[in-house]
Amino acid sequence: MDKSRVFSFKKESKKNVKDFKKCFASTVKLQSHWGAKLPISWTKLESVLRKLKEKSHKVFSVLNLSRFVLKTNELGINNEEDLLDALMFFNDTGVILYRIEIKDIIILDVQWFVDAFKRIIFDEEHIKDMDVSSDTEEFKTLRKHGLLSSNALNVVWQNSEFGKHKKDLVSYMKHLDMLAELSEEKWYVPCMNKQKFECKFLDNCNVSSRLCFLFEFLPFVIYHRLVVACINNMWMKPWESTGRMSIFHTVTILTCKDDYHRVLIAICDNKEPTHNDFPYSIEIQSNVTKPREIDIGVTLKLKEDIFRNLTNLTRGLPSCETSSQLGYRCRIQPFGGNQESHIIKEEEMLASNYDCAKCSQPHIVDVDSICRFWKVILFVNLKRRSTYMHSLSLKQ
């Protein structure tokens, strides 16, 4: 919450109304398209799109739209490039959904698309209204683990137009990081996952320290979308251990591209007074099966990739854009371990030792051993440096 934009009102009082209006207007004007000059032809195109929607076209082929637009002279759009620019603009302003990666289809009815997703993330109350039988094993898997099979999807979308556009809808949901594609017939919908993580999963693993991205405010959905983005864009897949996927409500373990490094991504709600200025954190910790050792080249690359995805996801959410704030947990132990640990901001860890006064028993943190996984430290001994410089060059 941006506290400067919170206003309280009293019935039959004008108190705060003026300030609210001022704030409202200045917030609207902050939008990137405000004040931009647009071709008149785009307004005409918008009305064409609206008419198509009114004729109950939920999705529309870009090719057909392009044919129609280019032959209708009075619209004033003479080439495909102009049309695509206009479609991108209408996507950014919420009129339609259009992704450059999905070239052939636009979604004209955004609310209809939202309704399709609402059916996937049903709760007990929703399911009664949907009039479908939800007792099957596939439904239980979706409800408990967030794993959506093609059959379950057919059932939630039955008796509606959604089924007819299954491929396009799934494609858009994937590109918007709403679900992750595990195979052609299976998707992961993180917000449906209710499983609890237990530390025992990491019993036989060597782990890195925990890197924390710190936030004053963080909508939970950003965490879900980050997990989905890692699966969809970074060649990662859920770690399968004892015949099940290691995906839980607030913790996810993904296998990296090399097949033996794994990364645990978690969202933490830090209620302790020591974490007052950053109550939310997204934390990552790498792990490998013993006796393997963690390759620092891999963790450095993980940090870079995850940071990039997280920055993309929080762009445009001013209250979350503090993700440049980094920190580390003061102890190295498998995630969920018994020992208490606190977050120390990176900027506080300047010397080689740090006195942690946040834990109930004060202790000394060896800064190098914590930071070495996540940043290139100068003055490290030459042998170690050459090892990870070598691994870095391999990665590149």
Site of interaction with Zn ion (CB under 5 A): 330, 342, 356, 359
Instruction: Pick the closer one to Zn ion by CB: 57 or 358.
Output: 358
Instruction: Pick the closer one to Zn ion by CB: 249 or 275.
Output: 275
How far apart CA 368 and CA 351 sit, in angstroms, is: 9
CB of 23 to Zn ion, least distance (A): 41
CB of 344 to Zn ion, least distance (A): 8
Q: Give phi and psi for 140, each to the nearest 5.
A: -65, -40
Task: Kindly report whether the peptide bond that precedes residue 291 is cis, defined as omega within 30 degrees of 0.
Answer: yes
How far apart CA 2 and CA 26 sit, in angstroms, is: 14
How far apart CA 171 and CA 181 sit, in angstroms, is: 9
How far apart CA 226 and CA 86 sit, in angstroms, is: 29
Q: 322 with 216: CB under 8 angstroms? A: yes
Q: Which of 257, 344, 349, 335 is nearest to 302 (CA)?
A: 257
Instruction: Pick the closer one to Zn ion by CB: 61 or 339.
Output: 339
Instruction: Pick the closer one to Zn ion by CB: 247 or 326.
Output: 326
How far apart CA 255 and CA 249 sit, in angstroms, is: 18
Task: Output the CA torsion sign for 84, 88, 93, 94.
Answer: positive
CB of 216 to Zn ion, least distance (A): 22
CB of 328 to Zn ion, least distance (A): 10
How far apart CA 156 and CA 139 sit, in angstroms, is: 9
CB of 357 to Zn ion, least distance (A): 8
Instruction: Pick the closer one to Zn ion by CB: 102 or 359.
Output: 359
CB of 307 to Zn ion, least distance (A): 24
Instruction: Pick the closer one to Zn ion by CB: 285 or 309.
Output: 285
